[in-house]
Amino acid sequence: MDVTYYYKNRIEEFSKIESHYFNKEKKIPFIRLEIIIFSILFFYIIFSFNIFIAIAFLVVAIIGFIIVVKYDDTLISKNKYYNNLKIINEKELKHIENNEYSYPNGSGYINNEHWYSSDLDLFGNFSLFQYINRTTLKFSSDILADWLLNKADTEEIKLRQESILELKNKIDWRQDLIIAGLKNNAENNDVQKILGWIKEPSVFINKKSFILVCKVLPVITIISIILSFVYIPVVIPILLVFLHLLIINNTKNNIKIIHVQVSKNVNLLKAYTDIISVIEKEKFQSQTLQLLYNNIKNASQSIKYLTKILNNLDFRFNILVHPIINTLFLFDFHNVVKLERWKQNNVHNTVKWFLSVGEFEVLSSFANLSFNNPDWVFPKISAHHFIIKAKNIGHPLLNQKQRVCNDFELTGISKIDLITGSNMSGKSTFLRTIGLNIVLASIGSCVCAKEFTLSPVQVLTSMRINDSLEENTSSFYAELKRIELIIKLTEQKEKVFLLLDEILRGTNSNDRHIGSIALIKQLIKNEAIGIVATHDIPLSELSLELPNNVENFNFDVKVNDNELFFDYKLNNGICKSLNASILMRKMGIKI
């Protein structure tokens, strides 16, 4: 299927439907005005003949006006819905055709101390996170980031693959999920505030006698007010109202604290309600999706009830209505008791709801990734340690028109592949290609390859090592710290896959060569597996000394009339062509 053509068709379809509702909606103000004018006119005419018929006509006219207003609201809602669908599909089209990323980039998750995060461009502009991300809620993006940073076990990978495959072709459902999350503008809210409130001990719920008094007292007060007009002295309802005021004064501080804790999250709760409603309407077959569905089954009604309570508490900001209803009915107190009772009944459910919604959004994001890349495959996970076998593997963040794919295979332990090559020939890009696809495979996603088999393994990189002013460390020392970690893990026989680019670059060439040889030999002794990219051509002579452990590959460059041409294809053997001198001459250095 041509995904570009598919999205263009959807954009055209939704644009037409949006225009249809927009044109209908434009006529409604005139219809409303006509109803008002003709209603007044006919009421005046009929009133002169029969007042009762005129009143009846006016009631019918008002009902008709309300129906038109509701119809107008429906048209506006439909128009907005199809406009959002059009925008979502336009974003997907730009994403595919121009590599324009419009979703959050996850820069807040950048962690330079992580095993591979910075080296593989997991977060930030044009990152893997931004490429995949279709989540609308912060809690969901937290889960996506956590998946990218931590590999899953084999069984979980298979369950996620099954779920993603099921959601892949549920296009309408997936885009409805996005609309539901975005329409309440809840992406900046943090669900941890609600979870924190739920875990806090309740203030009023255990005061049974006090709650009973506060239930009965308003009833007695209202009855006494009514009776004071005929039977009883007015001082009695005044005293009762004064008692109300005492209760309000004694509870107002706690009520204010509780209200502030949760009232700011009304939009977030609405977003969760809308998303859960979308999920509840769908049927799922895979084991994981059914489990997530069961976790949130009927949750939307419970959250709607909570949202209603929070909206009631917001009457505290209404200076005209609130003083009356709160004084007579202890309105705030009863709503806070309802809040605490809701919390008591749902303390164990709420975390499950949020986690399930988050995982639905994350799985939907990966399903979108798979749909947008129909030529990508789901990897086979091998129980044998170790194998990585890829056919036509490419960098997932490069546009398909720019992407150059290669075949790659590495099997067994105590194996290091050395990749030599000239500047800009593609060595570092290839390392990231392998690393990113291993990360994707290890979390249950499809990968940018025609075929891909992988043993469960933890990626560990040393590619971009920067100075740290905060820690007062040089890049060389920072690299030594990373190498220290690598040695420690390999000595412990951890199943890691190493991606090392220009190791020990911070020292002189002689020390770097000696140190690199020693490190590679030590890694082989520790049964390590990985790829080392280097400009150090003599390092490739290790394959003669350790033919069963070291294999040479290269990225070559073609030179024609002092012009460089890169094909970015991985070749067997040692690189023979170097381009640094040509580049320096082009810059004006006379050599």
161 belongs to a structural domain: no
Domain presence at residue 38: yes
**Tokens 């040692």 — which residue?**
574
Omega cis (within 30) before 386: yes
Residue 271 three-state SS: helix
Closest CA to 143 of 329, 317, 328, 363: 363
The residue out of 77, 100, 123 marking a domain boundary is: 100
Instruction: Give yes or no: residues 394 and 368 share one domain.
Output: no
The pLDDT of residue 531 is: 97
Q: Determine whether 444 is exposed, middle or buried from the number of CB atoms within 10 Å of its CB (0-12, 13-18, 19+).
A: buried
What does the pLDDT average to over 285-294?
Answer: 96
Q: Is residue 65 part of a domain?
A: yes
pLDDT band at 472 (very low <50, low <70, confident <90, very high): very low
For residue 285, give Cα distances in angstroms to 160, 167, 423. Answer: 13, 10, 50
Query: What pLDDT score was predicted for residue 185?
Result: 59
Asked if the structure places residue 141 within a domain, the reply is: no
Per residue in 315-344, pLDDT (tens digit) is 888 888 889 999 999 999 999 999 999 888
Residue 151 DSSP symbol: P
| Token duo for residue 203 | 């203030």
Residue 269 lies in a domain: yes
pLDDT for 270 beyond 80: no
Task: Using the 3D structure, point to which of 100, 128, 146 is the last residue of a domain.
Answer: 100
User: Do 327 and 279 belong together in one domain?
Assistant: yes
Question: What is the CATH number for 522?
Answer: 3.40.50.300
Write phi, then psi, for 540 (nearest 5 degrees).
-70, -15
Q: CA torsion angle for 131, 132, 135, 139 (degrees, to 10)?
A: -100
* pLDDT tens column, 129-152: 999 999 998 889 999 999 999 999
Residue 446: the pLDDT is 98
> What pLDDT, on a 0 to 100 scale, did the predictor assign at position 468?
43
Same domain, 353 and 494: no
506 vs 123: which has the higher pLDDT:
123
Q: Same domain, yes or no, for 231 and 320?
A: yes
Is the same domain home to 437 and 512? Answer: yes
Structural domains counted in the chain: 3
Q: Give pLDDT tens digits for 517-537.
A: 999 999 999 999 999 999 888
**Cβ contact 265:198 at 8 Å:** no
Strands, E, within 496-540: which ranges?
A: 496-501, 529-534
SS (H, E, C) 156-208: HHHHHHHHHHHHHCCHHHHHHHHHHHHCCCCCCCCCHHHHHHHHCCCCCCCCH
CB atoms within 10 A of CB 148: 28
Closest CA to 421 of 528, 567, 561: 567
Distance CA 142, CA 185 (A): 17
**What are the pLDDT digits (tens) for 413-444?**
999 999 998 777 889 999 999 999 999 999 99
**For residue 418, what are the β-bridge partners?**
532, 552
Clarify whether residues 96 and 194 are in a common domain.
no
Distance separating alpha carbons of residues 215 and 194, to the nearest angstrom:
27
Please check the confidence at residue 241 and state whether its pLDDT lies above 70. yes
| One domain for residues 395 and 358 | no
b/e burial code for range 243-259 (CB count within 10 A of at least 16 → b): ebeeebeebeeebeebb
Note whether residue 150 is domain-resident: no
Residue at a domain's end among 330, 347, 372: 372
Q: Is residue 538 a part of any domain in this protein?
A: yes
Residue 410 shares a structural domain with residue 559:
yes
Mean confidence (pLDDT) of the chain: 88
Could you give the percent of the chain with pLDDT greater than 90? Answer: 55
Lowest model confidence (mean pLDDT) among 11-20, 89-98, 265-274: 265-274
| pLDDT at residue 471, rounded to an integer | 44
Q: State which residues form the domain around 11.
A: 1-100
Note whether 224 and 268 are same-domain residues: yes
Same structural domain, 298 and 446: no
Residues 512, 475: Cα–Cα separation, whole Å: 14
Q: Are residues 358 and 214 both part of a single domain?
A: yes
pLDDT band at 585 (very low <50, low <70, confident <90, very high): low
Rounded Cα–Cα distance for residues 575 and 557 (Å): 9
In a domain, 128, yes or no: no
pLDDT in tens, 359-383: 999 999 999 999 999 999 999 999 9
Query: What does the DSSP 8-state code read for residue 123?
Result: S
pLDDT classification of 588: cutoffs 50, 70, 90 = low
Say yes or no: 385 and 466 in one domain.
Answer: yes
Which comes out higher in pLDDT, residue 589 or 80?
80
- Confidence at residue 403, expressed as pLDDT on a 0 to 100 scale: 92
